[in-house]
Amino acid sequence: MSIDLNARIPNNVDLAENRRLQRALEAWQPNYLQWWNELGPDGTSGYDIYLRTAISVDAKGWANFGFVKMPDYRWGIFLNPAQQDRTIPFGDHKGQPVWQEVPGEYRSTLRRLIVTQGDTEPASVEQQRRLGLTCPSLYDLRSLFQINVEEGRHLWAMVYLLHAYFGRDGREEAEAMLERHSGDSDKPRILGAFNEKTPDWLSFFMFTFFTDRDGKYQLSSLAESGFDPLARTCQFMLTEEAHHMFVGESGVGRIIQRTCETMNELKTDDPETLRAAGVIDLPLMQKYINFHFSVSIDLFGQEVSTNAANYFTQGLKGRFQEAKLDDDHTLADEAYKVHVVNGDRIVLAEQPALLAVNERLRNDYVEDCQKGVDRWNKIMQKAGVAFEFRLPHRAFHRAIGAFSEIRATPDGKIVSEADWTHRHSEWMPTDAERAFVGSLMTKPVIEPGKFANWIAPPARGINGQPVDFEYIRFN
Ligand SMILES: [Fe+2]
Ligand SMILES: [Fe+2]
């Protein structure tokens, strides 16, 4: 695949060979930049930032690092190379050659899948636009901007597909990506979690741990798609996504670290004492976990879903690591256990596996989250602090699916609406607690090598640079 890095839009899709498409994307580019300037990271256009830029799809050297101003970032279109003779890995068309063009009968479904994925990318940039003003360090500020520019590139990836394969409808959808805005009452982003605020850095790290990880699972299932350009696009996006989750996991881990140090220093686990000492107590972090986990598992949709079954049968959206699954990949007669409400209890019930594709993906996701939580728990263990984080039950605080009809505790016990009203502030951050977290983050820490009091420094810097490297020059 030839890579054209010097074109107005860097790409490995031979854009120069397709003048019409090139012109259409070049016409969208200024609108994108205008959106970036208005709703991207606030007041940052003059900063020189040590950023990673994708320049190739070669696993061994796909990116380079250097100082860039974000509006000059080289947002490019990169697809993984086509796999020769790839066949559709699942569903009714299993074994047939993959599609290089959109099959007419699946056109609107595919467009909706691409638009829904694409919409999340600029949404998170909008959610995070003011965080830079309260960053805990230069290192963390760089991480934020790195994620922001890469979510911008992910938007480019989806917009490319819309322009290249969906004609006029696709172009209109590409425009609409810049018209919906996170939290806008008139034109909100499509999915709930992407209209929530990301008001502070604890929320940001939780978001990149939990919500970017939803992205990993959605992209992984689209990376199996029979529509080959979508599969190849998502495969490459996943290489960038890994770093976003690293930022989340290590960010939360460093906050835990700092809190444990303070607990040991002051010989206390009293939340008020710890808050007065300027760190975030562990029970409060548990509340943030409860919140972010619950809004993120909503993103997987209904437990029993005919839409998801159709996407699967039609070969549009597969399961996580489809090839590694040991079944016939059509799910014709298979069953799968799904959590359901039965009277006042939550039980497992067998459903046709085809209808339970969402739930299966959610289970893969929960398992992955649990591994991260286990690593966080190790930090406390190592520090000699007797506290453990737990993922809340999947029925807790849900807005989508069977559990949106009931109220449940983090342990999965069904409670009455009145109980919920009395007790939900035990389980999720209250306004006052959010205000406390915000109060730790009123000023940015931007001196190289310095860190805010509530977070420990990272173990190492970015790309082999020292932790106290000047990652951003403000000019
Ligand atoms: Fe993304
Ligand atoms: Fe991401």
147 Cα: distance to centroid of ligand 2 (angstroms): 6
CA-nearest of 85, 288, 311, 294 to 218 is 311
Span from the CA of 118 to the centroid of ligand 1 (angstroms): 8
Mean pLDDT, 10 residues at a time, over the chain (475 residues)?
A: 83 94 96 97 96 86 92 94 95 98 97 97 96 97 98 97 97 97 96 92 98 97 98 94 96 98 98 98 98 97 96 98 94 94 94 97 98 98 98 97 96 97 97 98 96 98 97 93
What spacing in Å lies between the alpha carbon of 155 and ligand 2's midpoint?
11
Ligand 1 is a single-atom ion; what residues have CB below 5 A from it? 121, 151, 154
User: In the structure encoding, which two tokens stand for residue 203, read together?
Assistant: 């929320």
Which ligand ends up closest to the CA of 119? 1
Residue type, 273: T
Nearest-5° angle of CA 226, CA 229, CA 233? 110
DSSP letters spanning 77-103:
B--PPPPTT-B--SSTTTTSBPBSS--
Span from the CA of 426 to the centroid of ligand 1 (angstroms): 32
Within 13 A of 243's CA, how many CA atoms are on the CB side?
22
Phi, psi of 275 (to 5 degrees): -65, -40
What is the structure's pLDDT at 56?
82
**Which phi and psi angles does 414 have, rounded to 5°?**
-75, 130
Tens digit of each residue's pLDDT (9 = 90 or more) over 269-327:
999 999 999 999 999 999 999 999 999 999 999 999 999 999 999 999 999 999 899 99
pLDDT at 4: 81
Q: Domain residues of the chain, as ranges?
A: 15-473
Residue 1 amino acid letter: M
Ligand nearest to the CA of 151: 1
Residue 462 alpha carbon to ligand 2 centre in Å: 18
Query: Are 74 and 53 within 8 A, CB to CB?
Result: yes
Ligand nearest to the CA of 123: 1
CATH architecture of the domain formed by 15-473: Orthogonal Bundle (1.10)
Q: Which helix (H) or strand (E) holds 168?
A: helix 167-177
Q: Give me the torsion for CA of 297, 300, 303, 304, rounded to 10°.
A: 170
**Crossing angle of helices 138-165/167-177, nearest 10°?**
160
Between the CA of 153 and the centroid of ligand 2 the distance, in Å, is 10
237 membership: H or E segment, kind and range: helix 228-266
What are the C-alpha distances in Å from 161 to residues 18, 118, 121, 189?
Answer: 14, 10, 14, 19
Given this model, what pLDDT does residue 475 score? 79
Residue 51 phi, psi (nearest 5)? -120, 155
